Amino acid sequence: MILQLVEADKLYVADMLRRLSGTEFATQEGTLYPLLSRLRREGLVEYQWQESDSGPPRKYYSLTDAGRAALAVLKGYWQHLNDTLRQLEH
């Protein structure tokens, strides 16, 4: 889900939490930060520090090329699962 969120735009953790809050994937900072650290160690996301008008600089996360490739694989797998579920309905 996080790879999907940062695919289109660089996001700050508060932005991610806000977007997830109205979904079944709502989470907290204590869960999100370790996940982002793991994704970064795996080379799937990167971050850039950006100045903030309302406080200290913030980390904005984005996908790496490896992250885009991993997301494409996941999307293909999700599509396969959906296709399989549709076949089972008939």
**Secondary structure element (H or E) that encloses residue 7, with its range:** helix 2-8
Domain count of the chain? 1
- pLDDT tier for residue 2 given thresholds of 50, 70 and 90: very high
| Interval 52-75: pLDDT, tens | 888 889 999 999 999 999 999 999
pTM of the model: 0.85
pLDDT in tens, 3-33: 999 998 899 999 999 999 989 999 999 999 9
Range of the domain at 49: 2-89
C-alpha to C-alpha distances, 35 to 41, 45, 48, 50, 63, nearest whole angstrom: 10, 11, 17, 21, 14
Residue 78, domain CATH: 1.10.10.10
Cα 30 → chain centroid = 15
Return the structure tokens found at 88: 């089972």
